[in-house]
Amino acid sequence: MTFRELLEKYKNGTATEAERALVEAELEKSEAIADYLAEGLEALEEGGEALSHSDAEVKKVKRTVNRRLRRTALWAASIVLAAVLAVQFVINPLVVSFYYQPNGRTVGQDEERDSEAAMLYNVGDDVEVDLTALYELLVPGQTPADIQVDEEGFGRYTLTYQTVDGLTGDMLPVTQKLRPDSYGKQVQRGWENYKLNWLDHTAPASPEESTFNRQIEYLSQLPETSFITAWVHFPEDLTCVQFAKLAESYDLDNSNRISFRWAGVRVSDPIEAIGGQSHFLGLIPEEAAREQARVSPAWETYPLFDYHQYFAENGYNSIGNNRSANSGYQMETHFQSVLAYAADRPEAVEALVGPIREGILWDFAAAQSYVEEHGVRIGGALVYAEPKVLLRMWERGEIDGLSLEDVLPSRYSARAEFQR
């Protein structure tokens, strides 16, 4: 008999005493097992509730911590950003304002000008105008080109440009660092115009006393096709009109190949500190200036700084019959404006050339005062010429000093403009 059949007899009351005792014993066992299982389930339920409550607390703490971390990170990022912006837009401009700013645009000719004049010049960085003026005054036979400025912050810049040789057209790349603690190392000062100082200092009182006969003898032995770079010194200082007449007298004769590239204007009396020599600053004649970049400060303040202003305002047929007088006027006005501009830019001069002190060549304010008192007087010039022309100038007494610098086989070895 199965337990199920025995249990049925127990329920119907037909079970014997022994069968009833067996069923009751089994029921007691089952009840004990059920109680045991119930206790286990309750324990599991209580443990699960405790675990769920603990997870919720952890998640809440994590959210609070993350929120505070995000807030702290946001504040930190804001502080860093504010510091960066302050450095970039407050501190850096403040520091820069104390020093020379080559990439500024404070001196260029105003672009808002109608008529064809607007086609004749460029408005560039200040350093373009500064270097154009400084090279003309200080560095004979060289002009700057392709000037670029890279700003590095806090008054530091990298300056790159090319120097163009007036005779050959050869270009020399220049890369310089502009630093407030190392100003005055940018303009390539070859000091070629010291030759004019020396010629002026050693000029003879008369042709018979000349010490240049050896140079003349060498010159006479050169092939006629040679093309020469030379310094010449005039017996007497010339006015700009006299200088223009001299140049015109050779320009009218196509057989005379000579180009006056740089005229040395006397800007001091003899200076004992440099052996009793005088200072000369450069004036580039209009013909030689045509190859320069057309940059200029304000025309109203510095008239004819750029020769093209004259033609822009008066037309290309305005020179008239008195060519030398007109050219002389242009040269004198041009030089006075270039010198005045340099005198008005001491910060640029000190950054690009060197400290300004008494007796130094680039004390342009002192030079300007001297010129205002004595006028624009030309003591000599840098020329490109054939030997016969220089010999003719010597024989005519138009020059009393000569220094040969470079000799090319012919003018066809020079720039294209000299080959025509």
Q: What is the pLDDT of residues 218-267, one digit of tens each?
A: 899 999 999 999 999 999 999 999 999 999 888 766 667 899 999 999 99
Q: Are 386 and 411 in contact (CB under 8 A)?
A: yes
> From the CB of residue 55, how many other CB atoms can be counted at a distance below 10 Å?
9
**Domain extents for the chain?**
3-95, 194-418
Contacts of 129 (CB under 8 A, 6+ apart): 107, 108, 295, 296, 297, 341
| Tokens 């270097």 found at | 131
Which of the four pLDDT bands, split at 50, 70 and 90, describes residue 183?
low
Distance in Å from the first CA to the final CA of the chain: 140
Mean of the pLDDT values across residues 364-375? 96
Task: Say how far apart CA 262 and CA 384 lie, in whole Å.
Answer: 10
> From the CB of residue 193, how many other CB atoms can be counted at a distance below 10 Å?
24
Mean of the pLDDT values across residues 347-354? 90
Q: Are 169 and 415 in contact (CB under 8 A)?
A: yes
Q: What is the pLDDT of residues 190-207, one digit of tens each?
A: 545 678 888 888 776 555
Q: What's the DSSP call for residue 271?
A: B
Q: Identify the pLDDT of residue 346.
A: 94
Model confidence, pTM: 0.75
